[in-house]
Every structure is written in C-alpha cells, then in structure tokens.
Chains A and B, each alone.
Chain A
Amino acid sequence: MARELADVLHHFLGDSVSGERLGPASLALLSEPDDAFAVAVAWNLAHELARQGLAVAWVTSLADEELLPPDATPGLTRLLSPAQELSGLARAVSEASAKLAASRAPGLVLARVPPGWIAPGPAAERTLAWTLQLVPPDLEQRIRAIAIARRVLAAHPSARVGAVLHEVRSVREAERAFTALARECAERSDARLTSYGLLLDEAELYRSLLARRPLALLRPEARATRAVADVANLLRADFACDAD
C-alpha cells in the first residue's frame, strides 16, 4: 500500500518497471479513408493520450497527412504508411510497435483502419485486437456499426470492440443511444460492445485541426475538450488493465 508519492509517480515519470507489458498495444480506429472527422478525433485523442503519459505512435495514411499539420507536434510520433490493405498496415503497425518498444513509457500504436479492409488472417490478428468506432445515434448508423463489429469479430474473435457516441448533444442522449446500440448488437450477434464515452461539440475538433493545436491547448475549458479527455481516460484505463 502506497504511503509516499514515490510509490506512485514512477508509473508516470518514465522509470516504471520494465516488462509490465510484452509490447505496445495497438488501437484501430475504424473509419473510411476520407473521413476528416475521424482524422480530427484521432489527432486529438493521440495528443490527449500522450498528455496523460502514454507514448503514442500514429500510423498515418497519405489521406491523414493531407489534413494534419505538416510539423511535428509534441508528444506524438507519426509514421506515414502507404498501405492500401490490411497486411501492409499490419507491417507498419509492427514497425511502430518496435519503435515504441524502445521507449520507457507505456506505448500505444494508433491506426485508422477502413472497414473495407477487415478480413481474417494474421494481419487482423495484429491490428484488430482493439478497435474503436465513432457511432452516431441514429438507427441506420447503429446498424452499420453493428455490422462492422461483426466483421471485426469474424476476423478476430477475441477483439475488443469499442464505440464512442458522437453527433449527440448530451451525456444522456449518448447513454440512451449506447443502450440501444448494445441491445441491438446483442440481438444480432454475440458481440459485446465496450463503451468509450462520447464526443461533444464536434466543430471544435475540426477547428483544432485547422488551428494546428490540439483541443487541450486550444480550448482547455471547452466541453469538447473534456469529452476527448474522458474518451482518452477510458482508453487509458483499459490499456492499463490489460498491462496488469
């Protein structure tokens, strides 16, 4: 039982005991290649996770890089991959993992995976163990999200399938939508969805990308910023549980 800060701070300050995790985890944000909103979310989430103490590497596509600030931003490593299918992306994720493994901080590799790329095989094993979808609350989008979740589980049966609600105006609306989504998912498949909160005031995410500053720096008090931080916090909590 901790009696001193020293018992705790080493988890954050880069001198944690090595060997807690075999290698960096990877998180696949399932989104279409031209989804600018997903790019804005990924960029802000990556920065927030880095702000919370993770070493984050983002395997980007050419489409991502066209939207992202050309200059490096503190706390985030970006590795451009020209991959056009899952096996190429899996190689890039492995490369990013190897780079992060040299870091002393706990590491997470982030990649955007187009749902059309999902297929069984070794690449799915490497890239789809932990997935995240951005799900609007309407029925059509929920059904689409469930279909993608089923494809993920067909390719990687033990995958953790996460969902973040967006295009909602309140926590209550997000909760209702997730409740419906989880129920519909249970009715249509054996998939169990993991909740990763919600996003609010999404225009702020676009603005941060245009301003080339993560929300936490651009608008630290905004609801959108708190929502991104909460999503990152939930991701980090599961990351930590997996490492234990």
Chain B
Amino acid sequence: MPTERRPQRERLALRGALLRLTPPLETIAEDVLGVVSRIDLITRDPDGAVTVVLVAQAGADLARLAEGIAQRTWLAPRLADWNQLAPHLALAAEQGARLLLVAPRFDDRTRTAVEALGRDGVRLAELIPRGDLDVELRVLELDPPSEPTQPPTASPRRESGFRSGLRD
C-alpha cells in the first residue's frame, strides 16, 4: 500500500470498529481542528449523542485524556451550530459531548481518572489488531466513582492489589 494512503486506511478501520460497538458510533467528522490541536473523529450514536474520539499512542494516554476533556468541552457549545448547518444529523446538543479515548493500553492513572470522572462522560477503549489494517475496540468496564459519603481512600480492591477488568 502506498505510504500516503495508510493513515486513511487506518482511520477507516477505526471507523468500522466504532460502528461495531453497542450502540454503534457513526463518524460525522474527522481530523477536526479543535482547541489548539486536531480531533481524530467525532461521532454520533443512534440517539444523536456526540462523542469525541481521540487515539493515544502507548504511554501518552494520560496526557491524551486531558486533551480529550478539553476538546469535548470545546465542542459542546458548538453542537447547536452544527445542528443548524446539518439538521439531518439531529445531534443531541443538550447532552454536550462525550469522550472515547482509544489506545493500545491504559495507564492505571488514566483508568482511575476516568473512574473519578464517571463513565457517562468518558470511556476508554483498547485497540486490538485484527489482521492487516483491521482493528477491534474493547470498551473497558471501569468501576463507578465512589459514593460521596465514602472517605476518599482507595477501594479495598486497590489496597489489596487485586486487578480485574470484569464486573459482577
């Protein structure tokens, strides 16, 4: 494959993987200039909810998380304008924008930060290769944030060192 076409193919692979999620995320814009830097993909789900999708290189996920929060904050007030420009998209502008951070793997600090933010607004998905230039996304199930009444200490799970991405 010519070198210059590879990024397009890789972006296409990610778009396909996003469509295979439940609910599917349909890409409505890519490589969008956001605040200072560019946003990889902007998607909508069948209910019109908008998600900013950023891809992070291994080891850069924590910094990329901060960038993603900034980008979704930047995007949220612009969604009403987008609805005027493209009413057929029926974006749920009142819900603001969510963030899906995609990376080969995630630092524990990133996971903990996302747990603290709450899963409704920010999700993490691991990028898993599927043959040549095909990928799959595995959305991580993270613990919900602690109840406000609980002291701000690490959960027993963290104290004991127990690790699992599963939930009962």
Contact = CB atoms under 8 A, between A and B. Distances in A.
Interface of A: 1-9, 11-13, 51-53, 170-172, 174-175, 178-179, 182-183, 192-198, 200, 226-227, 229-230, 233-234, 236-237, 240, 244
Chain B: number of interface residues, binned into ranges: 35 or more
9 contacts: A1-B67, A2-B55, A8-B57, A9-B10, A172-B168, A174-B162, A179-B159, A234-B164, A236-B105
Most buried by A among B38, B129, B133: B129
B49 interface: no
A182 B104 contact: no
A179 B156 contact: yes
B103 interface: yes
B163 interface: yes
A96 B104 CA distance: 26
Q: List the 9 closest A-B pairs by CB distance, nearest first.
A: A5-B10, A12-B129, A179-B160, A2-B57, A197-B164, A178-B162, A195-B163, A6-B7, A175-B162
A7 B60 CA distance: 11
Given A197-B166, A227-B166, A233-B165, A4 B104 contact: no
Nearest to B163: A195
Nearest to A16: B58
A194 B166 contact: no
Contacts of B161: 178, 182, 192-195
A186 to B, nearest CB: 10
B119 interface: no
A6 B129 contact: no
Interface string B76-107: 00000000000000000000000000111100
Given A5-B14, A230-B166, A13 B133 contact: yes
